C-alpha cells in the first residue's frame, strides 16, 4: 500500500487524506466548485454521493498503486455499506483542485 502522504500528485494526496480523515471541510476545499464525478460509468451528484459513500458509511481508501503521474489510482476502498472492494479512480485537476473524478470497480 502507498501511504497518502507519499502520493505523487498533491491534489490527489489532499483528496485521499480528506476522505481517510473523514474531513468534509478539507474534501470540499480540494474540489472545484463545479466538480463532477461518475461511479461505475454513471454521473452522480458529488455531494449526495459523498454523503452516502464516504461520510455516513465511514469510507476509507487504501491506495494499492498509482499511475499517470498520480492521477490514476487503484484503491482497496471500504465503507460500512459495501465492505471492501478494489476500485479504480481517475482524477482531473486544475489549479490544485479536483474538477472531476471517476471511480469504478477495478
| pLDDT reported for residue 97 | 98
**How many structural domains are present in the chain?**
1
Q: How confident is the model at residue 88 (pLDDT cuts 50, 70, 90)?
A: very high
CATH code for the domain of 101: 3.10.450.50
Residue corresponding to grid cell 491534489:
11
84-95 mean pLDDT: 97
Residue 45 contacts residue 31 (beta carbons within 8 Å): no
What is the residue-averaged pLDDT of the chain? 97
Are 57 and 81 in contact, with CB atoms under 8 Å apart? yes
Phi-psi region at 82: left, alpha or beta (left = phi > 0; alpha = psi -120 to 50) = alpha
Provide the pLDDT for residue 17: 98
- 39 pLDDT band (50/70/90 cuts)? very high
Cell of 45: 451528484
Share of the chain above pLDDT 70, in %: 100
Q: How far is Cα 25 from Cα 14, in angstroms, rounded to an integer?
A: 11
Q: Which residues contact 90 (CB under 8 A, 6 or more apart)?
A: 68, 71, 72, 73, 101, 102, 103
Domain range enclosing 61: 4-105
Amino acid at each position: 500500500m502507498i501511504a497518502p502522504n507519499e502520493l505523487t500528485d498533491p491534489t490527489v494526496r489532499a483528496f485521499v487524506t480528506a476522505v481517510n480523515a473523514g474531513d468534509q471541510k478539507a474534501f470540499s476545499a480540494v474540489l472545484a466548485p463545479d466538480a463532477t464525478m461518475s461511479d461505475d460509468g454513471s454521473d452522480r451528484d458529488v455531494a449526495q454521493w459523498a454523503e452516502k459513500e464516504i461520510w455516513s458509511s465511514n469510507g476509507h481508501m487504501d491506495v494499492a498503486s498509482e499511475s499517470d503521474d498520480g492521477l490514476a489510482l487503484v484503491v482497496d476502498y471500504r465503507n460500512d455499506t459495501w465492505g471492501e472492494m478494489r476500485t479504480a479512480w481517475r482524477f482531473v485537476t486544475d489549479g490544485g483542485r479536483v474538477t472531476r473524478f471517476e471511480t469504478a470497480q477495478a
